Each structure stands twice: as structure tokens, then as C-alpha cells.
Chains A and B, each alone.
Chain A
């Protein structure tokens, strides 16, 4: 069967009919010329399907917050065709058995590629290395390893992990947070944290670990990936490391591109997140770094939490916010609309580069004949108001409730099959 995306503009360029057969783009034909099952995409923009390197799907263990299936739905609706499921589940994804379970659940949901991330250390405890080789060699073919939520703070363990994963071309994705400097931390440490009486989370706690880890990566000749970089200082360190030829990549979350610590003054735990929301100066530096390529990718850090974990006082609330269904809108508002990123550059940041970092061969292809047909079709002219009750995620903890975002994901094509049509699950 042939699927035709009629009149779509790849990367916002000239309109074509994208012709898809057997899961592959077979032709870019003159608009209106191709035959087959027609999906109207007149004037819409086609981008390679988004790849999220940082997603919490919560299964196994916290199926009350999200499951692989509900998270996959949210991902598809957000224009994603691949997500990396973080390892901090219960049980922790630190064995071949758990990563294969998550991988299999992803296969069954069949809405996106679910690529499990393996824990670096057993139980995320930061003490003993998990069986990284077994996870790499499993059916899940794990290539990204992370103790996300916790920092691999032991320098020797981090060094060994960086070295060890070279054997299977893996990468360690570090959650950069010096634990002693952030004990009981509740928000960015600043003049505001002092006034609000909330224990501060200093920028240096992130930057010190990034500085150490880029130097370790250089020393052992490994690549290292930095999760959710959030400060202007971190940007400077990564920029310096790249200028020295160190093989470091970095991600920024949508929320760190748009939200600032001022929101914490409401004491509304929807804005409680790790790393914390920072200052407007940090946001400006992150946008500039994403634009100039110092930061390689946008990754959502989609972190569903059940209502009761946010409907409470700040200190008791869980950290994290939803991201899959709003990521494109935020990227559009902060990067594309102001002219910081072209459509092609956005495709790099949300698809090509994350697929490369995660070594996902089937994702992040350019929209050319022969490519696997993973495609996000977006309407750059539309806007919508975020309604938590209309999100597909099992949780409702979006920080954007009531906020108008530009750009709407209209269709998502996953391996040649529509998963989303006209903004709804196909």
C-alpha cells in the first residue's frame, strides 16, 4: 500500500507529495501528482520524526503515572517516532531482563521505537557497575546508559563506565548533580531561593560535575553525554570542551528553554523539577547554545507524576514535568519563531542528532527517497492552549496549563504507518 503526504513542505521548503511504501520514502513527487492513500498535508511542514533521548515511561513500577503504552501515545501525539525510556523504574532497568521487558512493551504498543536506557550502576545506587554488556547485547540493544535522577558522582566509577561502554559504542548520559552540594535542594540557589526560604541548588553543583566528566572523557578517549544542561556556566564548559575536541554532547529540555525560577514564587509544585528552573540569563544562554550547536539536542525529560505527588506542599512534591506533547510547541516558540533555528536545524536538534547519539540506525533520517518513513508533520501557523485534561499522558503535571503555544503536530508517521492523523491517534 502506498501512502501519500500530499502537498507537504519538507523542512518548510517547496511543497511535494511524499510517497511512502513498505515503510520507506520512495519518492518526493510534484505536489498533487502521486496516487495512493492520500493524507492531506497541504502547506504543512514535514520533519524527520522526533527522537527523544530522555523520557520517563515509568513502567515497570509506577504504572499509575505512565505506562509504555500511554507514554508512547503521548510521544506520537508530540511528533515523536522514538523515545529513550529512562532506567529509574521499579525495578531499575539495570539488567538485560528489565530492559528487554521495556523494549517488548514498546514493540507491543507499536507507536514509537522505545529504546530502553540502561542504568550505569546497580539499583542507581552509584556503587557497583550494572551489567552494561548484557544490556547492550540483549534484544533491547541498549546503547545509552544513565543513572538519571541520580548523578554517577564517584569519579572512578564514572571513569570506568565511560571506558567500558566503548566496547559496544555506548554512551554514558550523565545527570550532573554533585550530591553533597544539593542535599535537600528545592530550587535554583539565588536571591529568590533566599527570599522564599527554599534550600538552594547551586549552578556549581551541575557545572562541577560537567567539568570533571568532560575531562574524564578526554582522558579515556570516550564520548560522554550531558543530560538536561540548565545553566549558562554549563554551556561555557561544554563549549570549551568541544573547542578542545572532546567528544561531548549535551541536551536541553524544552522547559529550561522557556520557564524561569520566578515561577517558584507561586509555590506551585508544577514548577518543581530537577534540574531546577534557572534564571532568565540562563534561559538566554541555553537558547543561544542550542542555536550555535554547543547544545546538540532538545530532550524532553518527560516526567509523569500522579496528581497526589503534585497536589501538596512544595517540599513534599515530586520533581519533574510532562514534556512529550508540548516539546514541539516550546521549540517552535523559543527557537524557530524567533529565527534562532531553521527547520533543518530544528530537525538536527530533535531528530538527527539524538538518533546519532543514541545509535538508533532506523531514526533521524533525512526526508529523501530511501529513508525510513519516520515523519512529523507540523502546522507552524496554528496555536493552541494547553489543557492538561486533554493530554494523552496518564499524568497531568504539565507546567504549561492555560498557556498558548504555537505550532501543532498534525500527523505522525512511524515506520511508514500513520500513528497520528489530524492531531488525534490514528
Chain B
């Protein structure tokens, strides 16, 4: 595998290998010297056309723990706003010898474009593109689910996961549906009909408009950020109504099975899709998700770059 563009690129074997590798690499984090020499001399560029401090530093840390050289390229203002074009930026990075480009872009398909153009030779890792995909987020979510609910090994066969929120605009939801299904989990999307993508009935998952009917039968619930601005586009009438119908508060959380965990990709809108007491409860695993993000990104970089280095040497 050369690129990671979509969760759909991963077979069950690929995904389990990444998770297993991440589990091994996670132990590095527990050492006093948190560094492996694996990617010494390799250059990883974080090319971020959108602000995302948490994803950027997660990739940065992952690359640094593997001893790669890391360059952060905050290309604010894409060609849409008449800045430098994606192509010229890519050519620049290529000239500087980037071995991998981690790209976050507001346009769906931008990483795909980068990978299929002849602009660069290195690996392309999708760190979130528009409303399309965010495959490393799905990997870290799968890692977290596996750790809590499957003894930290194998796949996720039979696991029941609800994803609640703005599915229509969520790259996290798209990647999770694909990856969790590949790993054998049973996903249910929950959203008001306005925030459900057209044609969702043919996605490899279930869907529901009623959170209360779903919660008692899941092992994990993933709450997605819902931007209050969506109500200006008439997706829902008010933040309050959204919160009342789809938000996860303590009363709703009580309907979850005893063992079920609560996840959120962050950043959270406390009081909107998730109440503060839920976010701070022992069932919430958001902090672990962040830590796991570093491990799975290390695994992805290691497998994409480390493997190729061996081939060429």
C-alpha cells in the first residue's frame, strides 16, 4: 500500500495489521525515551489547508516518535481563495523531497487528486478531506473500540456501534462506516433526516431517526460535533431542539448497556451534542481516543514508509 486515502482502501487484514502495529508501537509511549529510529532520514510533511491543531500535532508527534523529520506546512487559503494552488504546493513539496504528505483539505477528494496526479511521488495520507473521509480517525476509533470491548486484538465482529449527529457533513462518519463494517462491526447511524445523506439506505449500515430506540442495543456510541450554524441552513430549527432530540445527556446515557462506552472525535460542543456530565463521565473515552490517535498514525506512517524503505534498500 502506498497511500491511505479512504477507509475503503483497507481490507480486514490491512486494518487489523494497522491496529496490531499500533498496539505494539503504543508501548513506545510508555517508555522514558519515546522514540524509535525507524523513519530516520525520512521527511513527513503535514500539509494543512484547514486549521486542525489536534490532528496536526497528532501526526507530528507520530512522525517524530518514529524519528522522521517533520515539516508543518499551513497552506491557509487554497486555490479557491486565490492562494497558491494545490498543484504548485505539491510540486514545491516534491522538490523538497517529501516522503509522505499528510494532507488536510476542505475539498472532498483533494488527497485523492494529489495521489493520482503526477505532482508528487511520495505517499499521501488523508488527514480529513471536506465532507468525505478521515481514515486515521476511523482507525483510532477502531483501536479504541477494540481495546475496550475486544481485548485489544483481532477484529470487531459483532460489535454494535451507533454514530450520532451530522452524518451528512461528517468525514468521520463516512470513514467509520466503511472501516467498522470491514472489521465486522454493526453500525447504526442516527441523525435527523435532514442530516442524513441521500441514499443512506444503500450504505453498509443501518440508520435511525430516533436515538432512544438505538441506545439500549449498542456497545458504543460515537457522538459527532454538530455546528450550531447548521440551523441557519434549516437542517434543524434550533440548537435546543437538536440537543433535546439527539444530544447525549445523563438521562439518555442511562439507557446504554452497562459496558457501553461513549466516544467523540472532538472538538466537542458541550451542551449541544453531548452534555458536560456525559463528557466527563468514566464511560467517556475521549482522552484515550487522542492518545490512540498517535499510535495508529505511527502505525500508518510505519507501514507506508517503513515497508517501502525495505523494498528499495
List the interface of chain A (C-beta within 8 A of B): 186, 189-200, 266-268, 308, 311-316
Contact = CB atoms under 8 A, between A and B. Distances in A.
B273 interface: no
A194 to B, nearest CB: 3
A313 B86 contact: yes
B200 A313 contact: no
B271 interface: no
A198 B198 contact: no
Nearest to A202: B198
Interface residues of B, number: 30
Contacts of A268: 113, 116
Contacts of A195: 174, 197, 199, 203
B85 interface: yes
B90 to A, nearest CB: 11
Nearest to B108: A197
A316 B79 contact: yes
A313 B107 contact: yes
B79 A197 contact: no
B109 A314 contact: yes
Given A198-B108, A198-B109, A313 B171 contact: no
Given A195-B174, A197-B131, A313 B202 contact: no
Contacts of A198: 108-109, 130-132
B198 A189 contact: yes
B84 to A, nearest CB: 11
A315 B174 contact: no
A152 B110 CA distance: 33
Contacts of B107: 313-316
Interface in B211-258: none
Given A267-B112, A316-B79, A311 B198 contact: no
A226 to B, nearest CB: 24
24 contacts: A186-B108, A191-B199, A193-B197, A193-B198, A194-B168, A195-B174, A196-B109, A197-B108, A197-B109, A197-B174, A198-B132, A267-B109, A311-B117, A312-B79, A312-B87, A313-B79, A313-B86, A313-B113, A314-B113, A315-B106, A315-B109, A316-B79, A316-B80, A316-B85
A178 to B, nearest CB: 15
B141 interface: no
A315 B131 CA distance: 12
B105 interface: yes
B208 interface: no
What are the 6 A-B residue pairs with the smallest beta carbon separation, nearest first?
Answer: A191-B199, A197-B132, A194-B197, A267-B109, A315-B107, A197-B131
Nearest to A269: B113
B38 to A, nearest CB: 32
B133 interface: yes
Given A313-B79, A314-B109, A194 B86 contact: no
A314 to B, nearest CB: 5
B60 interface: no
A313 B78 CA distance: 10
B186 interface: no
Nearest to B169: A197
